[in-house]
């Protein structure tokens, strides 16, 4: 069934539901917004790049804007001042997350720390992430295995430079990030550079990203949820099932080894830490919880980090002067023909400025994970009904000319003379969100990104693939669960 036929069917089924379920706001002042069509609302105004469409609409209707997708009232936040109101002042009202119907596969929305409502279970899971899995001592303890994965990337780039091989930057970054994540979690890599990156594992990730980012009429018209008309929940079950089965096998093997040889089987990775934690009866952590926690880290960390790395390399190759500055800093701090270490990161302020500028220009989650209003509330004089979906448009904030001079330009220098950071306290730069729902994976992402980008540029010069001129490089985005570069970046490394 094509998209427009589905719209007609949904419209006929949902007309009565729409009028019965919409919030009674006739006497309340909702945030301004474009007039919604009957039943479908503003769905057709989004296009294939919703972040750009919504940003354009906000220029007309303001930084707090109403949209309607079917029966779902949505509020879009598009300025740092309004983001601070929503994510800080009214964080307690907007602390719940909107979980798309697709994520109900395997009841993931009832276990995942990303979707759980704020409460005792969420606090327990959050504590495990922040104090057990992603604490500084735990991350420091995993440096050696991550260093091996970074060395594998460096070796791959070196061999490619010898053979003159064109490197798909995004794929190389994805393989490395996936292995960085997997060795941190359970001391094993899951894919190699000597296999085609479009293997079943890569296809599983790509499929999951596409399916969970596809607009779902079950979300816009909850009366349709039991029918799963687009089959998105079934497809999500297929992809999640593959990953959960993999984690189940890994956990089963580890538990078996712990029983037969307790001392020699310990790897002191995150899985061991989780298993130790779950064996304490007071912690209420089941094996199913462990699998879904691994899933959260795997899905949230791999595609986002690799996509950010590809955007960073795209901008650096398009701006040779910026690339030269970053390379010179690495040469000065680390020396030639040496590997970037995690301990080097604090001594690389220009590289950090590059990462921040990429976060500003190319946030991989342009709307963050949508939030939900837990009660009726008034923000900046406008009424936001209970149950509203909240988009924080960090893509628009990053291009706000009232905040950023020359917002479309790639200028890492803008971060050298200020203390703006991306950990949720500065509302002009929110790639990981803010408030109590800020991403708990920031410490690991911080290490991985600097190591990845540093390795790509240290000891290597780059040239675009044959026949491609800098002015021909496509920098448009492909909207999805993670915002990828629409056309993959391909280039040839040259040993410096």
Per-residue model confidence as pLDDT tens digits over 202-247: 788 878 888 888 889 899 988 889 999 999 999 999 999 999 998 9
Tokens of 119: 């409460």
Residue 376: pLDDT band (50, 70, 90) is very high
The answer, yes or no, to whether residue 195 has pLDDT greater than 50, is yes
For residue 64, the model assigns a pLDDT of 98
CA angle 400, 403, 406 (to 5 degrees): 70
* Confidence (pLDDT) at 204: 85
Count the Cβ atoms, other than its own, within 10 Å of residue 366: 25
Each residue's pLDDT tens digit, 260-296: 887 777 787 888 888 888 887 677 788 999 999 889 8
pLDDT of residue 128: 86
Q: Quick one: how many helices (H) and strands (E) in the chain?
A: 16, 12
Predicted local distance difference test score (pLDDT) of residue 188: 80
Residue 19, pLDDT score? 47
> Sign of torsion, CA 386 389 394 397?
negative
Tell me the binding residues for heme: 439
pLDDT at 259: 87
Any long-range contacts for 186-189 (C-beta under 8 Å, 24+ apart)? 186/250, 186/254, 186/267, 186/269, 186/270, 186/271, 186/294, 187/145, 187/267, 187/269, 187/271, 188/250, 189/149
Mean pLDDT of the chain: 89
Provide the percentage of residues in the chain whose pLDDT is more than 70: 93
Map out the domains of the chain as residue ranges.
3-495
- With contact defined as beta carbons under 8 Å apart, do 341 and 456 qualify? no
In angstroms, the CA 153 to CA 156 distance is: 5
pLDDT digits 0-9 by tens, 35-56: 999 888 999 999 989 999 999 9
Structure-token pair, residue 452: 């990845």
Cα–Cα–Cα angle for 177, 462, 486, rounded to 5 degrees: 55
Q: Where residue 182 falls among pLDDT bands split at 50, 70, 90?
A: confident
Q: Which of 274, 270, 44, 308 is nearest to 173 (CA)?
A: 308
- Give residue-wise pLDDT tens across range 390-443: 999 999 999 999 999 999 999 999 999 899 999 999 999 999 999 999 999 999
pLDDT at 380 over 60: yes
Instruction: Give the CATH H-level superfamily of domain 3-495.
Output: Cytochrome P450 (1.10.630.10)
Stronger pLDDT, 258 or 80, i.e. the higher one? 80
pLDDT above 90 covers a percentage of the chain that reads 62
User: Per-residue pLDDT for 15 more than 60?
Assistant: no
Please tell me the total number of residues recorded for the chain in this structure.
Answer: 496
> What mean pLDDT is predicted for residues 360-365?
95
Residue appearing with tokens 């800020």: 438
Report the pLDDT value the prediction gives residue 131, as an integer from 0 to 100: 82
The pLDDT value given to residue 92: 94
Structural contact between residues 424 and 101, judged by C-beta atoms closer than 8 angstroms: no
Which is more confident, 192 or 350?
350
How far, in Å, CA of 317 to CA of 298, rounded? 29
Residue 77 contacts residue 393 (beta carbons within 8 Å): yes
Lowest mean pLDDT among 97-101, 143-147, 184-188, 314-318: 184-188
Written as six digits, the tokens of 26 are 């006739």
Model pLDDT, residue 176: 92
Pairing of strands 72-77, 371-372: unpaired
Each residue's pLDDT tens digit, 130-167: 888 888 988 888 898 899 999 999 999 999 999 999 99
- Element housing 352 (H / E): helix 349-361
Q: Pick out the residues of the known binding site.
A: 439
* pLDDT given at position 198: 46
Query: Cα(134)–Cα(145) distance, rounded to whole angstroms?
Result: 15
Q: Name the band, by pLDDT with cuts 50, 70 and 90, for residue 196.
A: low
Contact status, residue 13 vs residue 34, Cβ threshold 8 Å: no
């Amino acid at each position: 069934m094509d998209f427009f036929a589905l719209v007609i069917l949904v419209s006929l089924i949902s007309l009565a539901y729409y009028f019965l379920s919409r919030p009674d706001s006739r006497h309340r002042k909702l945030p301004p917004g474009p007039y919604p069509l009957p039943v479908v609302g503003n769905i057709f105004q989004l296009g294939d790049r919703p972040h750009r469409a919504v940003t354009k609409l906000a220029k007309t209707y303001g930084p707090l804007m109403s949209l309607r997708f079917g029966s779902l009232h949505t509020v879009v936040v598009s300025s740092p001042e309004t983001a601070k109101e929503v994510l800080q002042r009214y964080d307690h009202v907007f602390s719940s997350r909107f979980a798309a119907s697709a994520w109900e596969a395997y009841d993931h929305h009832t276990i995942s720390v990303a979707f759980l409502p704020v409460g005792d279970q969420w606090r327990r899971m959050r504590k495990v992430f922040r104090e057990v899995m992603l604490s500084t001592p735990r991350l420091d303890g995993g440096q050696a295995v991550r260093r091996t994965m970074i060395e594998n990337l460096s070796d791959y780039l070196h061999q490619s430079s010898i053979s003159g091989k064109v490197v798909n930057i995004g794929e190389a970054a994805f393989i490395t990030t996936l292995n960085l994540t997997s060795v941190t979690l359970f001391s094993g890599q899951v894919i190699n550079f000597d296999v085609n990156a479009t293997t079943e594992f890569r296809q599983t990730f790509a499929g999951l990203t596409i399916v969970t980012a596809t607009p779902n009429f079950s979300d816009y018209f909850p009366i349709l949820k039991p029918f799963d008309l687009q089959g998105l929940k079934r497809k999500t079950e297929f992809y999640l099932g593959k990953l959960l089965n993999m984690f189940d096998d890994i956990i089963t093997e580890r538990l078996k080894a712990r029983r037969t040889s307790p001392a020699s089987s310990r790897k002191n990775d995150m899985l061991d830490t989780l298993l130790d934690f779950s064996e304490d009866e007071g912690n209420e952590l089941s094996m199913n919880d462990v699998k879904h926690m691994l899933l959260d880290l795997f899905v949230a960390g791999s595609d986002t980090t690799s996509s950010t790395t590809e955007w960073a390399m795209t901008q650096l190759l398009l701006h040779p002067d910026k690339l030269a500055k970053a390379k010179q800093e690495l040469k000065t701090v680390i020396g030639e023909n040496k590997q970037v270490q995690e301990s080097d990161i604090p001594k690389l302020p220009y590289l950090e400025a590059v990462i921040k500028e990429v976060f500003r220009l190319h946030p991989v989650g342009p709307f963050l994970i949508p939030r939900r209003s837990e009660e009726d509330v008034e923000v900046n004089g406008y009424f936001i009904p209970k149950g509203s979906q909240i988009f924080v448009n960090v893509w628009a904030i990053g291009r706000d000319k009232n905040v950023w001079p020359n917002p479309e330009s790639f200028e890492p220098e803008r971060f050298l003379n200020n203390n703006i950071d991306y950990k949720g306290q500065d509302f002009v730069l929110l790639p990981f969100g803010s408030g109590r729902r800020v991403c708990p994976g920031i410490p690991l992402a911080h290490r991985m990104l600097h190591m990845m980008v540093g390795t790509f540029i240290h000891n290597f010069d780059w040239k675009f693939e044959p026949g491609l001129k800098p002015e021909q490089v496509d920098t448009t985005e492909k909207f999805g669960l993670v915002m990828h570069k629409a056309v993959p970046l391909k280039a040839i490394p040259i040993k410096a």
